[in-house]
Amino acid sequence: MNMTITADENRTYGYEDLPGLMSLMTGDEKHGPAATSTLDVLWVLYDRVLRVTPERLEDPLRDRFLLSKGHGPMAYYAVLAAKGFVPVDWLPGFGSYDSPLGHHPDRVLVPGAEIGSGSLGHGLPIAVGSALGLRAQGLHDPAVWVLIGDAELDEGSNHEAIAFAGPAGLERLHTVVVDNSSASHALPGGIAARFEAAGWSAVTVDGRDHEALYAAFTAPHPGRPHVVVARVEPKNL
Amino acid sequence: MDTMRDRFAPVVSRLLEEDPRVAVVLAEIGKDGFREAMARHPDRVVNVGIREQLLVGTAAGLALTGLRPVVHTFASFLVERPFEQVKLDLGHQDTGAVLVSAAASFDWPAGGYTHMAPGDVALLDTLDGWTVHVPGHPDEAETLLRHAVAAGDDKVYVRLSVQANRQGQLIDGKHLVTVREGRRGVVLAVGPMLDSVLAATEGLDVTVLYATTVRPFDAAGLRRATEAAGTDVVLVEPYLAGTSTTVVSEALADVPHRVLGLGVGRRELRRYGTVEEHVAAHGLDPVALRERIGRFTAPTHRAG
């Protein structure tokens, strides 16, 4: 680790800075596929899709991003730091007693984290409630996004949410499934098919291809919730 | 007499009209009462189907957007089945909701153990920051439901039951009510247990306190009562026996005291039948209560 972080708040960070930011947490110069499985998805979302900034954390009209797969959050913290939600100098304390940045995020401690996560299968049901709550208040513009892992789909709570959200026509609800083939028992028929059967719009793309991700994230899906299955390298090669 | 649950949908339907923050989340159970409200406020009355993890998760999401969710189903499916959602989606996420349960400990004995939740309040006691209301009469239920919804973003549990006292008491959603005063012990009746406790303690020289809000516990109220009545305390609770023994002991930690926790036994009876039969089986009818309370507060035992 030979990178110097300046205290200059006006510095902007790009995608190429993310490995260095992650290194501040992990102490490793390089990170394997497991640590970076969500990195490109998170970057494209925060860089080009989500309408949320550190100044808009209380804005009812902001887009909501809910990280449901809270395990291995270094990429998430790196992106939040790069986008100015979290001070860069918080990163080296990762996981320590006095740090707001734990190995699973806590929304009460992390600016910009819409939910705390760690126990799998909680984000999608909460996202359903968020989408319903915004709709009930006439806020039809903000989008709700939730990121889950392919193995996280083992949890039955997701299927309660998937089966409800389609028929309920939650158009402002978006799910990204980062698929690194980590489920021991892959969903029969595939991930996208599971969502499609419940009435969702579904796209499967290369989870490392920023243009493909952007196109999938911004694809129109009138009247239906939308899922993007982002395929990355298998966790266990 | 109507039941507490008969009041639930009408009261909350009125609150939906009065307060644009109020939303209702159901999992099929109880939806008939909200038919009209659902038609009037389709976005604020949501039935998620038979999906209790989603029920609580949805409530948390609604709360995160600023609404005040009221969540309803049987106690076993509201607190026990989605307990981790209650712990994390509401507690850890720092969101609030009003959980309103029905069926209580054994409101439907013929339905068997799957529909009994004597441990609901004890389970909530493992979590931080819950207010727990246990009304003993439909009028009290109405009052406490209004308190619960109006309590900002607090986490509030309201435990409705078909067991009820003949008359409601004047309650404020916080404090113990003194129903009878004596000098040889305090008997604290919770919610629907009051009538049986009054019958059981007829002629005994004991103070009878009545609680409809058990968390936070009115420790100061209990201490005041013990000044004249002494520190022998009998708890009579309509859920798991001994659930409030700890809070009573904490309230009296600096004085010698004795506590007897009466309530629903832990042992699974594997019986159907009627509410009355289950009340008797758990030793909570007036005759059994009098025997147990009398033995505990009798002078000979006090000396020992």
Token representation of residue B134:
């246990």
Residue-level pLDDT, tens digit, chain B, 304 residues? 899 999 999 999 999 999 999 999 999 999 999 999 999 999 999 999 999 999 999 999 999 999 999 999 999 999 999 999 999 999 999 999 999 999 999 999 999 999 999 999 999 999 999 999 999 999 999 999 999 999 999 999 999 999 999 999 999 999 999 999 999 999 999 999 999 999 999 999 999 999 999 999 999 999 999 999 999 999 999 999 999 999 999 999 999 999 999 999 999 999 999 999 999 999 999 999 999 999 999 976 444 4
Span A26-80, pLDDT tens digits: 898 888 888 899 999 999 999 999 999 999 999 999 999 999 999 999 999 999 9
**What secondary structure does DSSP assign to B106-137, as a single string?**
TS-GGG-GGG--TTHHHHHTTSSSEEEE--SS
- Interface residues of chain B, partner chain A, Cβ below 8 Å: 20, 23, 25, 43-44, 46, 48-49, 51, 53-54, 56-67, 69, 84-85, 88-89, 92-94
CATH class of the domain comprising B177-303: alpha beta
Query: What torsion do the CA atoms of B52, B53, B54, B55 make, to the nearest 10 degrees?
Result: 40
Whether pLDDT at A6 is above 70: no
How many other C-beta atoms lie within 10 A of the C-beta of residue B50?
13
Task: Please name the residue of chain A whose CA is at the shortest distance from the CA of residue B53.
Answer: A157
Query: What torsion do the CA atoms of B85, B89, B94, B97 make, to the nearest 10 degrees?
Result: -70
Pick the CATH number of A17-231 from 3.40.50.1970, 1.10.8.100, 3.90.1150.10, 3.40.50.970: 3.40.50.970
Interchain CB distance below 8 Å, B61 and A127: yes
Interchain CB distance below 8 Å, A133 and B88: no
Contact indicator for B189, B214 with CB cutoff of 8 Å: no
Span B47-95, pLDDT tens digits: 999 999 999 999 999 999 999 999 999 999 999 999 999 999 999 999 9
At CA B249, angle to CA B295 and CA B288, rounded to 5? Answer: 25
Query: What is the distance between the alpha carbons of residues A181 and B141, in angstroms, rounded to a whole number?
Result: 51
What does the pLDDT read at residue A112? 98
- A140 and chain B: CB distance < 8 Å anywhere? no
Asked if domains B4-159 and B177-303 share a fold, the reply is yes
Question: What are the CA-CA distances from residue A84 to residues A46, B83, B304 (Å)?
Answer: 11, 36, 68
Query: What is the distance between the alpha carbons of residues A174 and B9, in angstroms, rounded to a whole number?
Result: 33
Task: Please name the residue of chain A whose CA is at the shortest distance from the CA of residue B64.
Answer: A130
- Phi/psi of residue A20, each to 5°? -65, -40
Q: How many CA atoms lie within 13 A of A201 on its CB side?
A: 17
Query: What is the distance between the alpha carbons of residues B175 and B210, in angstroms, rounded to a whole number?
Result: 9
- A131 and chain B: CB distance < 8 Å anywhere? yes
Residues whose CB falls within 8 Å of the CB of residue A170, separated by 6 or more in sequence, listed in order: A128, A131, A132, A135, A225
- A104 and chain B: CB distance < 8 Å anywhere? no
Fold category of B4-159 in CATH? Rossmann fold (3.40.50)
Interchain CB distance below 8 Å, B62 and A108: no
Contact indicator for A225, A203 with CB cutoff of 8 Å: no
With a threshold of 0.90, does the pTM exceed it? yes
Distance, C-alpha B188 to centroid of its chain: 14
Query: What is the distance between the alpha carbons of residues B275 and B3, in angstroms, rounded to a whole number?
Result: 14
Task: Indicate the helix (H) or strand (E) that contains B33.
Answer: none
Query: What is the distance between the alpha carbons of residues A96 and A77, in angstroms, rounded to a whole number?
Result: 15
Query: What is the distance between the alpha carbons of residues B160 and B75, in angstroms, rounded to a whole number?
Result: 9
Three-state DSSP class for residue A104: coil
* Residues of chain B with C-beta less than 8 angstroms from the C-beta of A108: 94
* Residues of chain B with C-beta less than 8 angstroms from the C-beta of A143: none
Domain limits, chain B = 4-159, 177-303
Burial class (CB in 10 A: 0-12, 13-18, 19+), B190: buried
What one-letter code names the amino acid at A234?
Answer: P
Q: Which residue among A121, A135, A157 sits closest to B43, beta carbon to beta carbon?
A: A135
Closest by CA to A183, choosing from A148, A146, A209, A225, is A148
Three-state DSSP class for residue B249: helix
* Residues of chain A with C-beta less than 8 angstroms from the C-beta of B69: 129
Span B159-194, pLDDT tens digits: 999 999 999 999 999 999 999 999 999 999 999 999
Query: What is the distance between the alpha carbons of residues A37 and B226, in angstroms, rounded to a whole number?
Result: 62
Q: Which residue among A60, A126, A136 sits closest to B43, beta carbon to beta carbon?
A: A136
Question: What are the CA-CA distances from residue A46 to residues A60, A75, A76, A81, B207 (Å)?
Answer: 18, 12, 10, 11, 63
Span A91-128, pLDDT tens digits: 999 999 999 999 999 999 999 999 999 999 999 999 99
